[in-house]
Amino acid sequence: MPHPDDQVEATSPGWVASEESRPDSFAARRRIAEATPEERRCESRDLLRGRLFAATLVMAVGLATLVIRDLFFPRFLRQSVVHAATLAWLTLLLLALWSRLRLDFGRLRGIEVLAFGSVVACLVASQSLGFHGHLSRQTLDAAELRVLFKASIIGVLILIFTYTIFIPNSARRAAAFIVPMAFSPLVAPLLLGLTVPAFRQVSEEARTLDKLVENSLYLLLGAATAIYGASVINACRGDADDARRLSQYRLKEKLGSGGMGEVYYAVHRLLKRPCAIKLIREDLVRRPNILARFELEVRATAKLSHWNTVEIYDYGRDVDGSLFYVMEYLPGLSLQELVQRHGPLPAARVIYLMRQACDALHEAHRAGLVHRDLKPPNIFAAYRGARYDVTKLLDFGLVKPIKGGDSPLITKEGMVTGSPLYMAPEQVSRSAPIDGRTDLYALGAVAYFCLTGQPPFVDSNSMAVMIAQVRDPAKPPSEIRQGIPADLEEVVLRCLEKEPDARYQDADSLGRALEACRDARGWSPEDAEAWWLANQPLEDPERPSAPHAPSPGVPTEELTRAEASGVTLQAAAVEDRASPERRG
């Protein structure tokens, strides 16, 4: 049985447990599995393709705007052909990037050159045609030349910063691209100055030292800023990429958060296996009791091998001090979400799900473990092994060894821990030892919730709920919702007996009682598949919806908070208010 003083074996080659592991000394040492060069190439290729598409789209929109302008102003008709041709070319490149064509890194870099090179050529050609237009109309003077040249500088600077912002690059490669761009406004004036005497005469009049220095500064400062910006963006991208990596895992999407921390959808960087990673909040890492509970949860769950218990892949401490563990990714819904989205479940389906939960509890109880926090958010109806409605038990964070007791770091004397809506009477009053029958009470309360859409006892005050757990008999489910079979109702109410001796004595007995119910054969794997496909189609695992995300609890702030963190209240006060003698 797991105990905080037990020695832990590493759960994966990437982790080595300390030789002596104690609740207040979580000492897993990290050995980072670096991404392979091929993986990094694939990631860079996908990033470049997406950025190229975005940058090309921006340039295409800009050119489309110029084409529309050209149609309304006759003096721009010369440039309109160049603008339209470049727009058509960019459209072809966009289609290539949008398509399913497999473009390797070299081809993508080639598209980068073609896209930005064509726009630079368009700017140079448009600038040259503008100069020729003014010369043919004899309207080009020194002032007009300065205005046209300034407009060319602005256009090139916009293009340079578009390149810097969108295209992932090192500073050296960015410089190789940006410097030629920066000098492109000089190409047309130099060629025209050599070949057209009239232009040379106007340019000599316009070329004063102050204007030459000013324009050169614009281009040089713009290019230098863009090159530096490219290096900064590249470094930030690397930092962000590192932040999304946790040991051998790459974090993809946040699935939810709770009292202990956050859960992320992640993928193993080498195996490409989807998984869920639970990160413990940084402010809780320094508390010995949290460390002990975290370590106990991972050890307890890792020792269980039943199909209906969530599988643990890995656990440890990241280099920044964060505690985490990695579990199997479960497409599906928690029972809380299932009932809230689709209403109370048919009796046959409740039996189908609860029997699987009994199978998982049978293994846990035989291993000497009591879950102590069974509730609808901790029981999942998952898609596993090409089967729907596979029950999975989650969150063994309050697990208690039946023998040996809790570590004093985990449970303090005179305190109770659990979720009030599904807490057994002995958890509240400590009137009887906590054992497997405690979990059977909670499982009966979960079945009650699935059948009726509400827990056995509901109140806006968590203390009142716990008093009712100790004192009041549960209302028969059939009085809340019609159509619940009498035999199943009898099973559920026996689970909710106040005295542990009056309940089923083990999970196997409860499972057999459920199997003997009239509707036990009324729900099959085929029924489950048909329901899920019709009502809640699951997305591809690479694009998770929200599995593992905590479900909303009872719509009262106090009880929702209590369920998120595990309410801890003074047992003596509960006993005092629950006892008729004391209430006098």
Which residues make up each annotated binding site?
A: 278
Tokens describing residue 80:
């309109």
What span, in angstroms and rounded, lies between the C-alpha atoms of 294 and 319? 18
Task: Give the number of other Cβ atoms within 10 Å of residue 52's Cβ.
Answer: 24
Residue numbers belonging to the annotated binding site for ATP? 278
Look at residues 315, 321, 251, 339 and name the one whose alpha carbon lies nearest to residue 283.
321
Specify the DSSP class assigned to residue 458.
Answer: -
In the numeric block, the tokens 């003698």 are attached to 581
| Active-site position among 373, 389, 406, 519 | 373
Report the first-to-last Cα separation within the chain, whole angstroms: 44
Which of 474, 485, 467, 416 has the alpha carbon at shortest distance from 449? 474
- Whole-number Å distance between alpha carbons of 28 and 314: 11
SS3 374: coil
C-alpha to C-alpha distances, 48 to 43, 112, 114, 173, 301, nearest whole angstrom:
9, 9, 14, 14, 41
Rounded CA-CA distance 380/391 in Å is 6
Gap between the Cα atoms of 33 and 13, Å rounded: 9
> Measuring CA to CA, which residue among 353, 315, 311 is closest to residue 334?
353
Residue 6: φ, ψ to 5°: -65, 155
Cα separation, 309 vs 296, in Å, equals 16
Q: Return the H-helix or E-strand segment holding 80.
A: helix 77-98
373 is catalytic: yes
**CA-closest candidate to residue 427, choices 444, 443, 442:** 442
The closest of 102, 96, 106 to 53, measured between CA atoms, is 96
Report the 10 Å Cβ neighbour count for 425: 22
Q: How many CB atoms lie within 10 A of CB 372?
A: 21
Q: Known catalytic residues? A: 373
